[in-house]
Structure 1
Amino acid sequence: MPAIFSHPTADSYPVQVVPNDSNLEINAYDLAASIPEYVWDALRQNPVRTNVVLPLAEKARLHEAKTLDDQQLWLTCVSTTESDSKRVDLVLSFSRNTLGDYPLFIVPTVPFSHLTQQFLVPRLQSLMLAIQKFVPRSRVYSVFAPEPVAELFARLWSDSTGIWHYPEPYYAAQLSFCTQRSFKNRQATTMREGSHYNLRPAIPSDLLAVANLCLEFSQGSEPFVLDWEGAVREAEMLIYNKQVWVHEIQSSSDSSSSESSESESTEIACLVAFTRNTRTTATITKVVTSYNHRGLGCAQRLVRQVCKHLLHTGKQSVALYVAHDNIPAGKVYHKVGFVGLNGLEESIEGVERWSEIGFDRTKVQLGHW
């Protein structure tokens, strides 16, 4: 597959794009291994917020020795402070998975209070010069970032390229997290009479059931809707990478034979996937319960068990996004221990509003995530 990025030479990275503001420095890296350590340090200082960049970059660096992916790129905006030290302000990434290209991810590595228009405009404008130098405009099909960053980038990008953005975001959500301290380890609830459940990692024999739930989840995630083949590929990837758990329900029913006996049926009612993970943080990226098993507490039961597993196996926090209009999901996650979701808590550092804003699909190449 030909490279979609304009790479000057194989040995030219990092490439510096000098913006008008002499205090700013824009660097581009097509190898994760080329990203300097001070950038990694900035990303790791806030692994919850940087969960859309840090895990993917770490994975890319791990696999670069085996396979060079010429369709990934990272951009950094660094400012020089009064003491002549370098401060990483923003990190952008163009990355991908087996199902397609991810959106343009933008993560700030400064406090949320810094994200004013005065701070962001010169940095985003400088970064956009670099994007247009190395990346086809059609690759920027959407941007996912903290709300003020996404909204301003979308406006500036549309003004610069003439590619308009959709007024309603594809996804508007609250970033939240659960820690060992906030986790609520309640006693397991019981199922309806005649049924019992099993919470476990998915195994290869679960493939079709997991694929069905992946397909169901995507149908509510316009415009990123999978066909059956894509759902199977996603299920295979999740199971192979051990990144998905399932809620299995076993139900007993009377047999129709003349002798009274019972038969047992087993169904996968719910899944929880966690696909962007670092040494200290995991990110839940998919929670879906089948239509036939909603209202039974399956999601809360499985999310709690997955969080318990992750926190007890070395993770310091578990992150997730919950859509603003998905109030029932917010209540479920709050009961598990995710902070800032009950509407009563004071502002919590790290709980932030994020948006994905899409661009004119007649002029861009849609990816998937």
Structure 2
Amino acid sequence: MSGTLYGTGNNVARANVILPHAEKVSSHQEFLPGSEQFWLVYSEPTPSNIRFILSCTEGPLGKYPLFIVPVAPIRLTPELLQDPMEAFCEALLNEVDFRRQRVFSVFSVEPVAKAFASAWEKIAEIRCIDEPYYDAFFSMCTPETLVRDGPQSTDGEIELRLAVSQDAVKISTLCQEFAEYFGMSAPPFFLSDKQASEEARLLIENGQVWVYEIKEGGGETDIASIVAATRQSDTVAAITKVYTPEKWQRKGRAERLVRRVCRELLKTHEQVVLYVDAKNTGAQRLYNRVGFRDLCGETPEHWLEIGFDRGEVEVGHW
């Protein structure tokens, strides 16, 4: 992406990382008292010409990383990114009651994440961690790209459905396993029993998690896979968690559930987006078979979460 013109194309899809939460906070003022919810914009040459939006917010499980979204066509070179990222750093440090330990990581398209991390390291004097917490490609599925039918299940009696309260214990366990297995490649993002239980409760109450339920030979049922979609605006929904325990892997169950979830989400949204680990070629092939495509054509859009020295920051969660 460095040196290429970024911001041409679907900015609504890119903004999904911050927009649904912004809409939730603006329509539910009870989120505001005592919580950290603010956004910064960088504009040039006039205030109406916004180039970047930075969000510094928190959710039920803790404080989110800083999210930065480019919203206007701009070449993402280190030289052009230095001024806006340094301006963001200065604005954050000048914010009333803001503490530099709050910035435990930043997530954005690769050149932006690197430019901010470099600027924050210099200005806030907190070292960034060499290995990214998350290294991912951004992709999108639409009604036109969705592959609606795939291989049939050989599992016998199954049900693909929204989760209900009776699933809470199993989903809590799977959320915890997901965090341990993927964990953004870093222990700070593991879930405690209490956090996993709370996440499962919220996912179920908000109708944001689907399950692949299978009946085993002895008549007992189990959840073979889960798919969560937690960021939804009027036109875009994001799949944010896909997990299949080792026992149930390699039989196409996650693919069938992702396809079912996409069919449901695309009834009310124009696009479904997700981030997929850049090193997980198996997951990339799975999403491709369902109908996910790179946002910018043949070149995958690369996003990074870069963390900062865990000895100096207060780690959050997302």
Whether TM exceeds 0.5 here: the answer is yes
Paired residues of 1:77 and 1:90 also in contact (CA < 8 A): yes
Q: Which runs of 5+ in 1 are unaligned?
A: 1-41, 253-262
CA contact (8 A) 2:42 2:52 kept: yes
Name the residue aligned to 1:14.
none
- Indicate the SS of the match to 1:86: coil
8 Å Cα contact 1:76/1:92 also seen in 2: yes
Query: What is the number of equivalent residue pairs in this alignment?
Result: 305
| Residues 1:225 and 1:188: Cα distance change in structure 2 (over 3 Å) | same
The residue aligned with 1:12 is: none
Question: Following superposition, which runs of at least 4 residues in structure 1 exceed 4 angstroms of deviation?
Answer: none
> Considering only CA atoms, is the larger Rg found in Structure 1 or Structure 2?
1
2:310 corresponding residue in structure 1: 361
Cα displacement string for residues 326-347 of structure 1 (whole angstroms, at most 9, x for unaligned residues):
1110010000000039xxx953
Q: Post-superposition shift, 1:251?
A: 2.3
Equivalent residue for 2:19, pick from 54, 78, 94: 54
Is residue 79 of structure 1 aligned with residue 44 of structure 2?
yes
Would you say the 8 A contact 1:191–1:197 is kept in 2? no
Q: Deviations over 1:254-302 (max 9, x none)?
A: xxxxxxxxx4121001100011110100000000001110111111000
Q: Name 1:300's counterpart in structure 2.
A: 255
Identical aligned residues as a percent: 40
**Residue matched to 1:236:** 201
How far, CA to CA, are the matches of 2:193 and 2:302 in structure 1?
Answer: 32
Give the unaligned 5+ runs of structure 2: 1-6
Instruction: State how far apart, in whole Å, the 2-side matches of 1:214 and 1:226 are.
Output: 8
Instruction: Please report how far the alpha carbon of residue 47 of structure 1 lies from its aligned counterpart in structure 2 after TM superposition.
Output: 2.0
Aligned partners of 1:308 and 1:203: how far apart in 2? Answer: 20
Alpha-carbon distance between aligned partners in 2 of 1:99 and 1:65, rounded to the nearest angstrom: 16
Distance 1:182 1:78 in 2: 34
**2:189 is equivalent to residue 224 of structure 1:** yes
| Distance in 2 of aligned mates of 1:66 and 1:367 | 17
Q: Does the 8 Å CA contact 2:145/2:291 hold for their aligned counterparts?
A: yes
Corresponding residue for 1:68?
33
**1:246 alignment partner, one of 190, 211, 215:** 211
Higher RCO structure (Cα 8 Å, ≥6 apart): 2
- How far does residue 119 in structure 1 lie from its aligned partner after superposition? 2.1
**Alpha-carbon distance in structure 2 between the residues aligned to 1:67 and 1:163:** 28
| Aligned-CA RMSD value | 2.0
CA deviation profile, 1:307-352 (whole Å, cap 9, x unmatched): 000002x2000000001111110010000000039xxx9536xx51
Q: Which moved more, 1:44-53 or 1:171-180?
A: 44-53
CA contact (8 A) 2:213 2:221 kept: yes
Matches within 5 A, 1:1-369: 46-64=11-29, 68-80=33-45, 86-111=48-73, 114-134=75-95, 135-187=98-150, 189-192=152-155, 195-220=156-181, 221=183, 222=186, 223-252=188-217, 263-312=218-267, 314-340=268-294, 346-347=297-298, 351-369=300-318
TM-score (norm 1): 0.79
Measure the CA separation in 1 of the matches of 2:281 and 2:190. Answer: 22
Distance in 2 of aligned mates of 1:273 and 1:293:
18
Does structure 1 conserve the Cα–Cα contact (< 8 Å) formed by 2:140 and 2:271? yes
Q: What is the CA–CA distance in structure 1 between the aligned matches of 2:79 and 2:150, rounded to whole Å?
A: 50
TM-score after normalising by structure 2? 0.91
**165-174 or 223-232, which deviates more:** 223-232
3-state SS of paired residue (2:275):
strand
Is the CA contact 2:294–2:301 (under 8 Å) kept in the aligned structure 1? no
Mapped to 2, the partners of 1:115 and 1:365 lie a distance apart of 29
Q: Does the 8 Å CA contact 2:35/2:58 hold for their aligned counterparts?
A: no
Distance 1:48 1:69, change over 3 A: farther
